[in-house]
Amino acid sequence: MTGPTGPDREAVRALAELLRKWWELSAREGRPKPTQQSLAGRLGIDQTTLSRYLNPRHPSTAPLRTVELLHTVLRAPAADLPRARALAEEAAAVPARRSPHPADPTPADATPADATPADATPADASPADPTPADATPANEAPADAAAVVVAPAPRRTATTRTATTRTALAFLAVLTLGGGIGLGWSAFAHRAGQGGPSVAAAAAPAGPAASRWPLARKGDLLWKARTVQYLLQAHGHAVEADGDFGAATAAAVKTFQAAHGLLADGKVGEQTWSHLIIRIDSHNDPKQAVVALQYLLNNAGTATDITGIFTPSTTRSLDTFQRARALPVTGVADPATWRALLASQGPAIHR
């Protein structure tokens, strides 16, 4: 696969060069450089795809999530991550290349330019003959054999039958849906009358806000580790936000837990999360806590610039997230919002 053309071709190549450098320099502190096969296994991709990500001569754009995971697994310099993210986003903006053999743009049900429309008079029909081509009596032969070839009656019949079939199926679907709703409503009403949960309570969705706090522990990578590290920094602990929940992060968690009268086991569960998160609003916005908030918002699909500053733009992103998760739209990062954000991240990755 050759590199894409266009103004961002250099970004694609620069990203591949940076990822290649991370891989080449990963052998340090007595650790061997991982093979591409073993590295691809840890990333959950095939070796051929990884080889393209690491090949500046014929590069293929690595997704942002893969770039972040490579940065963590290869223990690349923290200063490289912002540039890698920017290159990945710039490279991903390259429009898709057109196939050298584009498919026929004519829809399957469109009338070709050289075909006679279904409701038009054939070109070879005599204009002086006022009788339409399809008005020939059933027991008479048509005056012009060409009229038989272009007669559209079979096509109109097939279309009519298809439309009739679809209408019947739609009608049956409506009846089935209506019956199901009626049965479901009766069941809920019966349970409510017998002391069961009310209809409103039974119908209320158990969204992310109702989820439990995730367990973060040693060996976790990416979003769990980064969130814990950013929040530890906000509480004054000197840990590196490298996305790898290693020994240093576990030790910092133990120190934090001991200072708050918690069981110092180095694992971040419900009790530790409740002390670790910070309520963020326009009057209380510690930089690293805001970084954690912006990181989680962006990772959950709500586009947010990661600046560490609680700007009006961040407030709007927070409002958008809260509205989408059926939370009170306050523009404040409260415990329910933090819990919903953590529940909205991607799959947990553990080494």
Rounded distance between C-alpha atoms, residue 28 and residue 17, angstroms? 19
Q: 337: helix, coil or strand?
A: helix
Confidence at 21, pLDDT banded by 50, 70, 90: confident
Using CB atoms within 10 Å of the CB of residue 281, give its burial: 0 to 12 exposed, 13 to 18 middle, 19+ buried. middle
For residues 146 and 37, the model is more confident at: 37
Does the pLDDT of residue 261 top 50, yes or no? yes
List the one residue out of 243, 269, 213, 242 whose CA is nearest residue 253: 269
Percentage of the chain lying above the pLDDT 70 cut: 63
Residue scoring higher pLDDT (217 or 30): 217
Q: Take residue 99 and report the two structure tokens written for it.
A: 């196939």
How many angstroms from the chain centroid is the CA of residue 153?
Answer: 48
- The C-alpha angle with vertex 79 and arms to 74 and 84, in degrees rounded to 5, equals 70
Confidence of residue 169 (pLDDT cuts 50, 70, 90): low
Which range scores top for mean pLDDT: 61-65, 120-124, 209-213, 271-275?
271-275
CA distance 78 to 82: 8
Cα dihedral across residues 121, 127, 130, 131: positive or negative: negative
- Which residue bears the tokens 């296994």? 41
Q: At which residue do the structure tokens 């920094």 appear?
A: 233
**In this structure, how many other beta carbons lie within 10 angstroms of the beta carbon of residue 167?**
10
Determine the residue type at 170: A
- pLDDT surpasses 70 at 285: yes
The alpha-helical segments, DSSP class H, found in the chain are 9-24, 36-43, 47-53, 64-73, 80-92, 145-149, 153-193, 199-203, 223-234, 247-259, 270-276, 287-299, 312-324, 335-343
Average pLDDT over residues 288-300: 95
Output the pTM of the full model: 0.50
pLDDT at 135 over 80: no
CB 272 within 8 A of CB 259: no
CB 49 within 8 A of CB 57: no
d(CA 95, CA 5): 9
Confidence label for 306 from pLDDT (cuts 50, 70 and 90): very high
Mean pLDDT, residues 235-246 taken together:
95
Q: Is 222 exposed, middle or buried (0-12, 13-18, 19+ CB in 10 A)?
A: buried
Bridge partners (DSSP) of residue 262 are none
pLDDT-wise least confident of 96-100, 168-172, 269-273: 96-100
d(CA 90, CA 92): 5
DSSP character for 244? Answer: B
- Residues in CB range of 207: below 8 A, 6 or more apart: 325, 326, 340
Higher pLDDT, 155 or 74: 74
Assign 312 to helix, strand or coil: helix
